[in-house]
Structure 1
Amino acid sequence: MANACIVRGEIPAEEFALYEALSSLSDVEFEVERIVQSGDEAAMPLMWIRNAPLAAVEEAVERDPSIEDLELLSEFDDEQLYRMQWVSEVEMVLQMLTNSQATITDAYGTDGRWYLRVLYPDRDSLSKTVQFAEDNGLTFDVKAIRQLDGQPAGRYGLTEAQFEALETALEAGYYEVPRETDQSDLAEELDISHQALSERLRRATGALIEDTLLVGGVEARRDDS
């Protein structure tokens, strides 16, 4: 049976929704909470918009031709949650949701680019999206593909060694307050050096954070570094 895979990719903002809003608001961040299909030519996301005043956000978004039916759901200090309809420049999203039967788990827009994490049921479904982009002059820049093999480590972007180190540390009380063991004891139990354990735990923690937090936030900061 074919295994699902998680794909990280990028789309230029000019080929996607909210290009005008992204261009007119400096340092603004768009984080999609959820995307569902709404008809054959529209998508309806719930979206967080951050780092811009409410009045400026609403002016920019309402002028954006890719959006209809904007509705403010919640407002906090420097972020707002909206429901809206994307009605243009969303061919790629609709293809993912329909023809490729994919699930967009993360979508993050800032500085002229959209960063997506997409769960595909199999590699053939991913190929359909790539072919669709080529046929229609669109861009889906695939940055990474992770195959889901059913193992706990693979589901969270960890190597088997990283998963073992985290599991051993957790069971031994390393993450308790106060700690019930230290890295020297853990390294001895795993039969590796103290330095190797330290690096393994650090990389494993970083992988978990990246897999849990927004993919776009991670990728955008890497590009700026």
Structure 2
Amino acid sequence: MSTIVIGTVPATEFALEHTLAAVPDVEFECERIIESGDDTVMPLLWARNAPKERLDEAFEADASVENVTLLADFGDEYLYRMEWVHHIQLLLGMLTNSEATVLDAYGRDDHWRLRVLFPTRDAFSATHEFCNEHGLTYDVESIREMDGEPAGRFGLTEGQYRALVLATQRGYYEVPQRHTLEELAEEVGVTHQALSERLRRGTAALVEDTLLVGAVPDET
């Protein structure tokens, strides 16, 4: 069964350690990561919250990257293609040994946060063993096994998934609303309080699973 794992990796064991330290406010988000050789991967990644000049200087001095190419400049964010050549054993292990897919990778401060799809739970276990054997750090925050149902792909219960889909189909989120919460609750066969809770919890789970992967956890 496919398994989605969210975890963090220190920048010292991953990539762009120097750049993250030299440009403290920068945030990186990987658009795509491609294996390009035995000891190299080629990511496309967005850089935000940093002047291009400071990024260029940091990349030049960063031993973990080579062949940095600016693909797009939008003034406040930049799309780069580059090669990661140092401290990527964990990433290579995921892509090759475990046949994993890196769905999201966000770098900020002194760490990277990854959301990774493993084809099986055993494949994730192989990555865990790889880390132990090579002295690598992969601090797992959450593990979710996908059961093949659409709800499982997004961290939703079946009830939350159906409630969100129905609310969207019936125009509950439109302005003006085409159906009220009470009308939807009657169709589902639950109280409007129960349906409201499903929608709130489902929305929170969906946002957390898709939009907050790279966000700093709220410690309040």
Match of 1:100 in 2: 98
Percent of matched pairs sharing the same residue: 55
Give the distance between the partners of 1:94 and 1:195, measured in 2 at CA. 48
With 90-99 and 145-154 compared, the bigger mean Cα shift is at: 145-154
TM-score normalized by structure 2?
0.95
The alignment status of 1:205 with 2:203, answered yes or no, reads: yes
Of the candidates 140, 143, 152, which is equivalent to residue 150 of structure 2? 152
With 174-183 and 43-52 compared, the bigger mean Cα shift is at: 174-183
TM-score normalized by structure 1?
0.93
Match of 2:6 in 1: 8
With 36-45 and 170-179 compared, the bigger mean Cα shift is at: 170-179
| AA aligned opposite 2:12 | E
| AA aligned opposite 1:192 | V
RMSD: 1.4
1:111-170 Cα distance to aligned partner (Å, 9 max, x none): 211000101010111011101111111111111111111111111211011012112212
Give the distance between the partners of 2:122 and 2:103, measured in 1 at CA. 19
Give the distance between the partners of 2:180 and 2:202, measured in 1 at CA. 17
**TM-superposed deviation, 1:205:** 1.6
Match of 1:136 in 2: 134
What is the correspondence of 1:22-171 to structure 2 with a 5 Å cutoff? 22-171=20-169
Give the distance between the partners of 2:219 and 2:109, measured in 1 at CA. 10
Does the CA-based 8 Å contact 1:108-1:214 persist in structure 2? Answer: no
Give the distance between the partners of 1:46 and 1:171, measured in 2 at CA. 35
SS of residue paired to 1:179: coil
The alignment status of 1:176 with 2:178, answered yes or no, reads: no
Give the distance between the partners of 2:205 and 2:136, measured in 1 at CA. 30
Instruction: Show structure 1 runs of 5+ residues with no match.
Output: none
SS of residue paired to 1:105: strand
Give the distance between the partners of 1:73 and 1:214, measured in 2 at CA. 25
Count how many residue pairs are aligned between Structure 1 and Structure 2: 220
1:160-188 Cα distance to aligned partner (Å, 9 max, x none): 11012112212322123321111122223
With 180-189 and 128-137 compared, the bigger mean Cα shift is at: 180-189
Instruction: Show structure 2 runs of 5+ residues with no match.
Output: none
With 123-132 and 189-198 compared, the bigger mean Cα shift is at: 189-198
| AA aligned opposite 1:111 | D
**TM-superposed deviation, 1:214:** 5.5
| AA aligned opposite 1:81 | L
Does the CA-based 8 Å contact 1:158-1:204 persist in structure 2? Answer: yes
